Chain A
Amino acid sequence: MISLQNVSKVYRTKTIETTALNNINLEVPKGEFLSIMGPSGCGKSTLLNIIGLLDEPSDGAVIVAGQTVQKYSSKATSRFRNEKLGFIFQSFHLIPDLKVIDNVELPLLYRNVSGKERRRLSEEALESVGLKNRMNHFPNQLSGGQKQRVAIARAIVGKPEIILADEPTGNLDSVMGNEVMDILMKLNKEGQTTIVMVTHDENMARKTNRLVRLYDGSQIQ
């Protein structure tokens, strides 16, 4: 499902050069729940962004869902992100001016889906994270765990094949973190969704199929 070949990422500024990723080779088969761990600044987010086509590698090939990505800013790539990928962020990134239901609906706006259908799919997604009763609330009326569940609903509403989560439980206490983790595991088992998750929490990582450790931009296991 995901294949990285000799991927490197170097950030160049005027004064220094930072190697965020150094020659990474990674294969993620369909349906796997992979977690990525490592100390702060070791390149976890960079790796996830590259898998999610949000960032371009300095070197190497990225093949996601059978497609080799070439032009990152093209319409085709936008479309690909829209159809194949779902993102969950540590800080939720919900749009404060939109109601929960409208936030969830967002990925469908960029598809050819009627308003009625969008509504139905969004309610369904909210139902599956147990928040259908909150659909007319605004994000700031929700707890952190609830916000992240809304973010999950948004990530899954378009039925993507791959979900990329960057520290989804990082801002949550353990109870809420576990709730979120349970939802992700259920998605992975029942929906055969491939999930790549960055985490700092060994307990969370242990629940996944496989763990990749990064250290200073390199894969160590």
Chain B
Amino acid sequence: MADKPDIEYITRLARMELSEEEKCSLESDLGAIIGYMDVLSAIDTAGVEPMEHVLGLCNVMRSDDPAPSSARGELLGCAPREEDGFYSVPIAIDAE
């Protein structure tokens, strides 16, 4: 049997705040998903090549030629706050 999902840990990693109710329902949903892994694990895959990508393509690449970048205003306009050409966010480190 797969382990019960650690909802507290997952929400912390995903920076999500959930109500107790949401945590409960997620725990059972995620539990079912993880449980399905047991079904997959039971399948005999000896001799099956691992699939690394769903498209089956490889080597899709571009040449190293520069093209103009976007207008700064357009990009910064998508952000909640900008200052002097920078994105401005709540401070990301604590003072020493």
- Do A and B pair up? The answer is no
Q: Which residues of B contact A (CB under 8 A)?
A: none
Q: Which residues of A contact B (CB under 8 A)?
A: none
